[in-house]
Structure 1
Amino acid sequence: MSNYKLPVNDTKFQKLHWRLLLSYLTVMVAILGTSTVAIYEFFAHSLYQQTDQRLIILAQAAAHNFTETKEQYQQEQKIYEADKYPHPQVFRRLDGDGDLDISWHNLREPDQGVEWFDAEAKLLGNAGTVLPNSSPHPGFETINNGQIRAVTIAAYSKDKGKQKLEGYVRTSETTQEVEVVLIKLRWGLGLGSIFALTMTGIGGLWLTRQSLKPIIQSFQQLKQFTADASHELRSPLTAIKTSVDVMRNHPERIHPADEKKLAAIASATQQMSSLVEDLLLLTRMDAQTATINQQLIPIPLDEILSDLVDFLELQAEEKEITLKSHLLTGVFVKGDATKLTRLFANLIENALQYTPKGGTVTIFMKRLDRSVIVSVEDTGIGIAAENLPFVFDRFWRADKARTRREGGLGMGLAIAQAIAKHHHGEITVTSQLGVGSCFRVRLPVISEPKT
């Protein structure tokens, strides 16, 4: 093994790390948020349930004194009528000290109120500080926008074994104390959630880094092995190629039966050499993302494409394919001339390879905002829709219709995509079986085009 060392670049894993962390935090926020809301709702429901229970007990105690309250009210009404006073519109308390001095009195809290109504919901008497100015409704209710909770129950008397509705008793209580507790609870849950999220973020950052360490290590080892293997294979392949070339240059020394064998060895050696160079190129490009910007210079893109069209014109003519181009002039991109030439050469050669005789391959250039788009369009056999997501994968080969290319290794489009990404661009493809394909490369420009 040689001393060749591949530079390490963890940009992809940094992106993966932050995506994992974001996913982890999203899940934790959802869990924490749901738990916080559930806890708050549970405590709020419990507090209001306790309030309602107190009101029910108070109402049941007050209902036992309904008859006494009603009789006392009727006596007062007679006194008012005897004195020829009109019955007041605003209810008067039944005695001077503000309560009825009966057994339920000790059950009532300072922030509660009790009201008695007859069967027609007419107010008979009240006591306490919380006295809603509304008609009673049997059951639980909230009054004054939730500031008061009240419960109304029916009061019955027995007449010859049958129950008779005498009226209603309503007890009420302010929700101020409950709201004070809930406000403190909200603050506590809010601050606790912030602290929990902070600790979750710190823990998630550490956990995702630890979880990615073996993956990063394995990936770097794989890339290093690919680079080392590709580098080491150069020498034996070169030796084999040289030996075969020497032997083929002296045909008198070769037995006629061995000529086909030597041709097969030469073809396989050339194919292996191309594969090794492609693998080494891809591996180096994966590792040079951080330093690529320092190596890029202004390149006239139209000149690169024009030279490629001239160079591949003969190949197109041999295959009876029309090769056309519609280029802009004066279009400069920041890049590496050798790599950009390789990018577009791969696309054009791929189009020529899969276009039958009589077909057409056209190269278009157009400006879009601060980018230039180069399209390589052919009238070839096309690609099935289900295969489009995989065309840029390394070593990917499509169906039999697209595997007739001799010497194809499935690396050309992968290299083209890698070069486009290294130039801050992108490459896309659209295709239809039996109609053709169109590969589009978008690159940022550094000058205005001249047409």
Structure 2
Amino acid sequence: MNQNSLFFRARWRLAIWYSGVMGIILCIAGVGAYQMMVHAHWQGLQDEIESVAGTLHDTLEPMLQQPDRMSPYVQNVLPNLCVVTEPCAKNQQNLSNRHILGVTQTNAYYIHFRDRNHQTIATVGNLPEAEFNQNSVWQMIQDNQGHRYYQFSLLLKNSAGLPWGYMQIGRSMAEYEQHLSESRLALLLGLPIGLVAIAIASWYLTKIAMQPVYTSYQQIQQFTADVAHELRTPLAAIRATVESSLAMDVLLENDSRNILSVIERQNSRLSQLVGDLLLLSRLDIETSSSHFSPCCLNDILSDLIEELAPLALTSNLNLKLNLKTETRIFVMGNESQLYRLFSNLIANAIQYSNVNGKITVCLTMQDREAIAYIRDTGIGIAPQDLPYIFDRFYRANRDRSRTTGGSGLGLAIAKAIVHKHRGNVQAISEFGKGSEFIVSLPRLLT
């Protein structure tokens, strides 16, 4: 494919388009995944802070008594509590035997208790400097070093149900921002690697995708060249005959008849070639099988054996039909096409069989298939030619084909008809000992 500049350029354009589209999809998917991850982590952060705040709220409210004053019982829950009216060192004693809310012992969290006038009562942890905003439950604050904290505020009530003050719980955003930063770095590094992988995959996938097109293009080129070659031979013969006739001053009656006989023979060859090409073209174009009808293979093969028997006798060949079952076997199809199918195969066997040879046509059925065998004791097919015998204009023995007038379309037509009828045809041959063609068609169940 790389040797053909047209397909090479088309492959490049297809690979670029594929890479571009897949790259855009990958980028959009990456950005979308990152945004979803940010949202999920942010929601998880809020849920975590709310959970801690709810636990502290339910635990501390029964301990709170006098508004705006910290109860000494709170220190049982928060041993690192620092009350503004007492030295903080007094409160940092070892209270390992008391219940401690573990999450508040980490450096990521702080707790700020305020009275009803928003003045500080006590703190837990490293408290960033920030103004109290009573109108905002959630607040993003930043200290002098640029560290950010996400803070949640809620009102506390004492054991009597009266407002006691406010509690603010904040969490450092450092871990969250570090995780997002690592995710962005992984995404920024992964996207170019993914784009390179897409580009490489696109180059190879476009080769695979265009290979059938390129193969079809080569087949069309070869088919066109073969048709031109087959048409050129009879046309050249007709032209040479006419030119030689025109060069003669006087034409005798016998010469005229010979000239007309040559022209008629070449014209017949041209007509047969054109007819075969038109049949192949129709078989390739037609996709509908609505015109199919039940066809009896027993009758078709019996008529063909009767019709081709004189031709076989002329070549001193023994042609016979062997029906493996007495049941009449029907298939859905076009009777004239099926007739042409088996006619080509049997005529091909007669054409390439040795004198005093034997040709046997068998018909049987297996499961849901009708199977026909055409066996001959002819010259056989060489192993290197066997895979190509159904190709158009392919002739294993070109010298003999010229003497018998074959154009190399008989087996191609047979294969096209079989595929049109959703069947299969294969050839088994041993060079010098004969060949066997096996045709299987879907059987019409009665």
**TM-score for both structures, normalised by structure 2:** 0.46
Kindly name which structure, 1 or 2, has the bigger radius of gyration based on alpha carbons: 2
